[in-house]
Structure 1
């Protein structure tokens, strides 16, 4: 079999009607209404969401695609809600270091347990906590973490590196890699036997403020631990930057100076003096069955090959009242717009001729809880991974009107970027890379579950950077992003609004429609670029497609 490296000329989907802002708005208005209770997994809000999605998909005329032939794929989740600690203390230098839940720490766990109890666990600073042999980097140097709590810096060693630092350029500059993600750090701590993991929050390095990192509303979710897999750490949490500075100072250490040393390949873990942490925290733990929703438009020529669109249906559910007394975090944009886009795409494709390849639609659960629904799907795929041509994901789109460009998160990764550029050019627009790759958005959406298994991806995420708005320019686009992420991202004000101008969002959806339709009617197999960490996984799948 010959692997085609680029698409044939882009084909416009032959459907009689375009996707409209009105239909996107109507869907978002419905699923972000109070009746859906913020669409949290395992709640009545999920049941209502799933029923709505299945009803819409049936009405469109798509076919069910879940394993076993139904519309839904069961996703088992461990749901832990941490209670108010009965006791929580940190000591350093023989004295207590004041610590407050919510202000300094948001303790949680991913273990299936009814209690987290830790007595006097030593704290060890592990720098960025990266073990990357392919980059000749190991922050751990064989340190024994059993029974200890690892304290991490967020992001990669390269994030704040200067010329002359060992880390400079080794992790792609300020573009966050997977090693910079909080999920990786918790997993690495568990692999090394730590009893707990704390990540020092810093807004620029994390990509969001303490209002997000310190928000434990809804608790934590995790997939069940499989045979041979390590148990999650008993305690996992962010700690605020100011608290971390006080802690290190009380232990006679300079956190800022240690952070500089952590940019050296020779860095070794540093015990935080005699500092210890104790906690006794009740946990409400339950097994939750959530669901992905899967649909397809079967291909007429090569139905075993699939172009897969994706968006997550879940949001943040019900939490503490905000200043106005609102408790529901409705996720209108994140990712109600993505859900609306997939339904509109399914309707548009169904109205036209059958594609040569199958077009699939994945509505994922528990994205907000760590990409869990898409990860479960990737472990148990309905469409074989090797025969999945590409994954095209939508997760937040801007609502400020038409733009001169499309912001692509993860630019420079694969050949699909050229196809998106060609589709944008048909609209008289261009593609702009994510303005702040240091935030690691490429590793924070559901496409990543498929990317790390080798499936080429495109991610459209309106929070990826300020678009060049027709009315307001780049400054207007930057303002939209900063306002949304600072005030409404994961908050009660992520509400549907009749004042949204969705013309720019619809143009983005139409561009992704063109890319997907062209892939579904070609023999092309998109490829990862040289240097991508996902290229090897894709190359291994070539033989499976022959």
Structure 2
């Protein structure tokens, strides 16, 4: 038997039943999930044989089959496509044709042509193989429409059939979670398309010499996106998108009666700055693409209450990671080398740990009284490529979309230190907040506010796509506090983030002095179980808090 086969056999059959909670109907009991089970799953999923579980790889397929086998062993009902556990996510590797990306500002002898990969970025297009547009340009500030804040960059300007130009970022007039959402490229793209634009240009104040450092990388490599069948509708309307360096931004304002620098200052001061630029731009793009499929892995525990069983609580964890570097330590997927002899980014903490905790949460439910609502467990593909597995599932679910009443997401619980608090992103926005606090308190754990608002973590994990469908969601992560003074004040979390995140040392038995504390994984799993159980057994489904932006904006149609 080879090494991989021995590993598979050990992981499948050495798991310990969580007998402490078997057949318990007592809402006061605290589960006792075995740390040995958490360890078994992590060691399998983060083994070198899976080569970092990158999207589209054999290693990811092995991981998906492992999770499906665990679902079957645990006793979950298949809830994917065609009566199985797998739910296809159609994706593509898209590659921009550098020579096909052009942008010419103005016409005739005064025209300014930018160089793709130097002072211009025209990346691949997820839907259109090629496009060419010529249109007037309208400057729209930050490119946002925020009437609930009394702010609208599109007020007083007509962008129908035109190209919009805007700055990155967002005005500082809203909470950090919403600001993170508003400054996303996808939000600005959707806003531009809704107002009738046919293309967009993001302006940069970076000089061409510095801009070229990342422009060349942006137009010379491939990236993974959802296949056209699953792409956002805004893509087909916005035929070409670009980013330009300082010199291009200045040229766009040549006929406007003002300067790029002046409108930048006005925008920083909070003054409206939107205007037609009285200039025409021609833009082209060309993209090649290769289609492939990865699978989300979906299993269900049916609810026991006839009146609530049709409502579904979705538990998620992303299964993928970022693969390997090349021989020179370079990776197009984000794997950063900190070990010249090891090319594999194994992803033990990110996110074999979350996947392991999700599996053991499912096992514990199967060994206790059936929940009143149904529970759906989804191991998600391609999170590292832009939350693609969750986006496709949230918008093309294998269950009725209006049946999904809550999402509890697990992503990178940093179980390399003893934690005494957790962070529950999104909890303050819905009735999931008090549920999370009660569950954590049962385990002697506090719930802390977001310690890193500048990291925009609320929009950087899979729960965000369920939020976009109007579903109350919470994303759990270990916090900054620890009873061990070595790890207090964030040293444990930030130590991992600064030293091991997306590096080869995120693996079991790391040579870089990273020790995974599997008992902390079990503690985290106990909290996750208690949260999911209360959601599943409450008389009423979770609700958005009154006046919450995400509830009002996305939940109004549910």
Matched-pair contact (CA < 8 Å) for 1:152–1:199: yes
Matched-pair contact (CA < 8 Å) for 2:95–2:223: yes
Structure 2 equivalent of residue 454 of structure 1: 470
Structure 1 equivalent of residue 376 of structure 2: 360
CA distance in 2, matches of 1:28, 1:38: 12
CA distances 1:254-301 after superposition (whole Å, capped 9, x unpaired): 548615426636331464x979686665x3313333322110122223
Higher relative contact order (CA 8 A, sep 6+): 1
CA distance in 2, matches of 1:11, 1:351: 15
Answer with 55-64 or 248-257: which moved more.
248-257
Structure 2 equivalent of residue 133 of structure 1: 147
Would you say 1:407 and 2:423 are equivalent positions?
A: yes
Would you say 1:287 and 2:294 are equivalent positions?
A: no
Matched-pair contact (CA < 8 Å) for 1:73–1:292: yes
Would you say 1:47 and 2:51 are equivalent positions?
A: no
CA distance in 1, matches of 2:185, 2:246: 20
Partner of residue 264 from structure 2, selected from 258, 266, 272: 258
Q: Which runs of 5+ in 1 are unaligned?
A: 1-8, 159-167, 203-208, 542-546
Distance 1:278 1:453, change over 3 A: closer
CA distance in 2, matches of 1:509, 1:216: 42
Matched-pair contact (CA < 8 Å) for 2:425–2:476: yes
Structure 2 equivalent of residue 526 of structure 1: 542
CA distance in 1, matches of 2:203, 2:50: 33
Secondary structure, in 3 states, of the residue corresponding to 2:429?
coil
CA distances 1:227-246 after superposition (whole Å, capped 9, x unpaired): 99440644446x5xxx7445
What's the offset of the Cα at 1:34?
4.0
Distance 1:139 1:357, change over 3 A: same
CA distances 1:402-451 after superposition (whole Å, capped 9, x unpaired): 12211122242112111211222222221111123344322232222222
Secondary structure, in 3 states, of the residue corresponding to 2:310?
strand
CA distances 1:147-201 after superposition (whole Å, capped 9, x unpaired): 63634312x212xxxxxxxxx3xx2367525222222123334443333443759
Structure 2 equivalent of residue 501 of structure 1: 516
Partner of residue 443 from structure 1, selected from 444, 447, 459: 459
Secondary structure, in 3 states, of the residue corresponding to 1:307?
strand
Secondary structure, in 3 states, of the residue corresponding to 2:228?
coil
What's the offset of the Cα at 1:226?
7.6
Would you say 1:184 and 2:187 are equivalent positions?
A: yes
State the TM-score, normalizing by the size of structure 1: 0.77
Secondary structure, in 3 states, of the residue corresponding to 2:295?
strand
Would you say 1:297 and 2:301 are equivalent positions?
A: yes
State the TM-score, normalizing by the size of structure 2: 0.75
The structure with more helix, counted as a fraction of residues: 2
CA distance in 2, matches of 1:53, 1:223: 24
> Which structure is larger by alpha-carbon Rg, 1 or 2?
2
Structure 2 equivalent of residue 70 of structure 1: 84
Structure 1 equivalent of residue 20 of structure 2: none
What's the offset of the Cα at 1:219?
0.5
Distance 1:38 1:246, change over 3 A: farther
Matched-pair contact (CA < 8 Å) for 1:404–1:430: yes
Structure 2 equivalent of residue 349 of structure 1: 365
Matched-pair contact (CA < 8 Å) for 2:53–2:346: yes
CA distance in 1, matches of 2:104, 2:341: 34
Distance 1:397 1:78, change over 3 A: same
The RMSD of aligned alpha carbons is 4.0
Matched-pair contact (CA < 8 Å) for 1:13–1:352: no
Distance 1:497 1:458, change over 3 A: farther
Matched-pair contact (CA < 8 Å) for 1:416–1:456: yes
Q: Which runs of 5+ in 2 are unaligned?
A: 1-24, 207-212, 331-336
Output aligned runs, 1:36-435, within 5 Å.
36-85=50-99, 101=117, 107-115=122-130, 125-141=139-155, 142-144=157-159, 146=161, 148=163, 150-154=165-169, 156-158=170-172, 168=173, 171-172=174-175, 176-191=179-194, 192-198=196-202, 200=204, 218-224=222-228, 229-230=233-234, 231=236, 233-236=238-241, 244-245=245-246, 247-248=248-249, 253-255=259-261, 258=264, 260-261=266-267, 264=270, 266-269=272-275, 271=277, 283-302=287-306, 303-317=309-323, 321-322=329-330, 324=340, 328-435=344-451
What's the offset of the Cα at 1:382?
3.4
Structure 2 equivalent of residue 23 of structure 1: 37
Would you say 1:479 and 2:520 are equivalent positions?
A: no
Structure 1 equivalent of residue 11 of structure 2: none
Matched-pair contact (CA < 8 Å) for 2:429–2:548: yes
CA distance in 1, matches of 2:198, 2:424: 37
What's the offset of the Cα at 1:497?
4.5
Secondary structure, in 3 states, of the residue corresponding to 2:68?
helix
Count of equivalent residues: 499
CA distance in 2, matches of 1:538, 1:97: 44
Matched-pair contact (CA < 8 Å) for 1:176–1:439: no
Matched-pair contact (CA < 8 Å) for 1:326–1:492: yes
Structure 2 equivalent of residue 5 of structure 1: none
